[in-house]
A and B are shown apart, each in its own frame.
Chain A
């Protein structure tokens, strides 16, 4: 029997009982729809976390002093002072995989503008820091290497600080504020970055040349961090290895000594968060997959009933020349048509419900092609798998008995 005839026969058989065909499809529709929607939600949240971190500079590498043992007492890393100008010089001279490097020192304190004051953090950094952290200026200019050399009392100001120190909307550029006791002239404002994934306000800061913060505020020669940019995300690992070696050399550590610093990449963070939401995707997919299986069992159930109910029809078809194979193919085709049609409607439903979720709940969603293709393939397989057994039962009927069946 030709395929066209086969499809024609199966379609006519389904048309004779549209409501039942639709109800059978419903399991598949919901299954496929939920797979697509759930995977879209999972992927969306994964992507949004990734984006958020990318915004912080995914190729950013951070060096922190690490905890160490001093006479048996472990000392917290942050209070351990190991990072100095020597390291910056060594990194700039020796590293191939990093493009930019900036030291950083931080100081918490009170920013004061006349009668107004606001507790904030001042970061002392090199001009490259803006690039490394993907910070942009909204207005004004950035400080230069010249300012670093002269320990100039200039700063860039974050939006939160502007809001609190200049509540009436006056232009902060050119104004002088005090941080602690030191006056700083504001030369630029930072574009707002909002809160990060951990709830920290990324706009609550002042940025000044690191020399200024080191000499005029903290009176230290050490850095609290070193920030660097890897040439690309792909070479981050090489950059880490390289930096570690350079810093070990610079710190004159012997082979048997532990690092007195830690090199971190954003990738670790991304990997952790991605794996968390990857787990979420897997969980959602499993739940949706279960509903597909239930849909398949629904098909099997109905096909079974259908075979019994249509025993006489099967007998007739056999008597007018249908072979067992033809009957098998007919019922299999019916099951496949049900599951594939259900799949198509399910994909559509998945798209619609994903849009609804995005529009009403504001959740980020990404419909991945793979989830559409996968659920479609699973559908067809479900149809064949669950349709086969009832179809086989139909094909093995004895035409004589089937014709006499009441």
Chain B
């Protein structure tokens, strides 16, 4: 039986804005198995961001349960949530969020600095391997300003990989990139998913990007509108090969 990485049961999230209560999520249930590549789609206001925050253990549900790798998130304190993020989740953001004036290697090492079980030598090894995994082995000493957008996002992916998380959580990770670089990132994601068996949850609003995943969850007004398997998953590598060759990298 495949292991369930995410188990979400009747999840609701409400915000109190002054005198009004906003129902961002109105009852969502779904599971994600290990090794799945899921995209979560939805227009703005669909509760996509709220769901992402909860999945990323940055926020907790008002009602309902969320189990991440068997851990009930709802019962955890702020500090325990931080530790859970450190051990089990790798974030990739739209704006890369690399530290300015910091080399790629140092940036990738960052999550491991908050894990005291990892020694300095181990930390360096793992950061180097993570950078190799995103094909940036020759860019260790480059700072964000010396890297292209796609390269920066790959450093961010390496940073998300370095702590060997159970799930990579990407938030509009291709949102700031042109289509060619987007495909490159998606190709990398697909490779991590198929070759290394990483579970990936990818939040996007572009159907084009969603077509690279094995499953799409469509959100609308705080409920799941559609949860469908993508039978003919496109290969980003092939799409990339089909694009006209351009001069710039």
Contact = CB atoms under 8 A, between A and B. Distances in A.
Given A8-B113, A12-B102, A403 B85 contact: no
A171 interface: no
B99 A323 contact: no
Contact of A319 (B58, B79, B113, B120): B58
Contacts of A319: 56, 58, 85, 91
B59 interface: yes
Interface string A10-30: 001001100000000000000
A321 B111 contact: yes
Contacts of B87: 321
Contacts of B99: 16, 313, 316
Interface in B107-125: 110-111, 113-116, 120
A320 B111 CA distance: 6
Nearest to A326: B114
**Most B-side CB within 10 Å, residue of A2, A5, A321, A323:** A321
B101 A16 contact: yes
Contacts of A316: 93, 97, 99
6 contacts: A9-B113, A317-B110, A320-B86, A322-B86, A324-B78, A324-B82
A323 B53 CA distance: 16
B100 interface: yes
B95 to A, nearest CB: 8
A1 interface: yes
Contacts of B111: 320-321
B85 A320 contact: yes
Contacts of A320: 85-86, 91, 110-111, 114, 159, 163
A2 B111 CA distance: 13
B113 A400 contact: no
A322 B91 contact: no
A15 B114 CA distance: 19
A324 B78 CA distance: 8
Given A1-B114, A5-B116, A400-B53, A321 B101 contact: no
A400 B58 contact: yes
Contacts of B79: 323-325
B184 interface: no
Given A16-B99, A316-B99, A400-B53, A321 B115 contact: yes
Interface of A: 1-2, 4-5, 8-9, 12, 15-16, 312-313, 315-326, 399-400, 403
B114 A2 contact: no
A255 to B, nearest CB: 80
Contacts of A16: 99-102
Interface of B: 53, 56, 58-59, 78-79, 82-83, 85-87, 91, 93, 97, 99-102, 106, 110-111, 113-116, 120, 159, 163
A229 to B, nearest CB: 69
**Most A-side CB within 10 Å, residue of B87, B100, B159:** B100
Contacts of B78: 323-324
Contacts of A9: 113
A1 B85 contact: no
Contacts, number: 70
B104 to A, nearest CB: 14
Q: List 5 tightest A-B contacts by C-beta distance, closest first.
A: A321-B86, A323-B82, A320-B111, A16-B101, A321-B114
Contacts of B106: 12
B116 A322 contact: no
Nearest to A313: B99
Contacts of A2: 116
**Most B-side CB within 10 Å, residue of A2, A15, A319:** A319
B116 A321 contact: no
Given A1-B114, A321-B86, A321-B111, A312 B102 contact: no
Contacts of B102: 12, 16
A402 B148 CA distance: 25
A286 B116 CA distance: 44
Nearest to A398: B58
A312 B97 CA distance: 8
Nearest to B79: A323
A48 to B, nearest CB: 52
A5 B82 CA distance: 17
A371 to B, nearest CB: 38
Nearest to A15: B101
B82 A322 contact: yes
B82 A321 contact: yes
B45 to A, nearest CB: 16
Contact of B93 (A4, A321, A403): A403
A379 to B, nearest CB: 27
Given A320-B111, A320-B159, A325-B79, 8 more contacts: A1-B113, A4-B120, A5-B116, A12-B102, A316-B93, A324-B78, A324-B82, A400-B59
B97 A5 contact: no
B100 A322 contact: no
A322 B114 contact: yes
Contacts of B82: 318, 321-324, 326
Contacts of A403: 58, 93, 97
Nearest to A402: B58
A8 B119 CA distance: 13
Contacts of B86: 320-322
